[in-house]
Amino acid sequence: MILGIFAFVLVFILIAPATRTFLVSCLTGVCAWLVSWAPFSFILLLILLAAPIVAIHLIKTWPEHQEPENPMAKYRNDVIED
């Protein structure tokens, strides 16, 4: 549903010639910047694209929290039910 709404809005945004001109000029400027700052811009782009993947990997592989053992539990005189 959200993808349909996004596509519908995008069609109406791209209908206007001023918007298309603005978007094309932005993309042309970004491409020119990438080429003119070639090694640094590609490293920056790689960092920006890899950061979410690394974050997802860290979240999925993070060890689960374990509650610490109660140090006073061994001194209690509770009756154990079988």
Give pLDDT tens digits for 47-59: 999 999 999 999 9
At residue 15 the predicted structure's pLDDT band, cuts being 50, 70 and 90, is confident
Which pTM value belongs to this model? Answer: 0.54
Report which DSSP code applies to 46: H
Q: What angle do CA 35, 44, 60 make, to 5 degrees?
A: 140
Mapped onto helix, strand or coil, the DSSP state of residue 76 is coil
Helices (H), 1-82: 2-15, 17-36, 38-61
| 73 CB-near residues (< 8 Å, 6+ apart) | none
- Contact present, 11 and 3 (Cβ < 8 Å): no
pLDDT of residue 79: 61
Report which DSSP code applies to 50: H
pLDDT of residue 78: 62
> Which amino acid is located at 41 in the chain?
S
Q: What whole-number percentage of the chain has pLDDT above 90?
A: 59
The answer on pLDDT for 80 being more than 70 is no
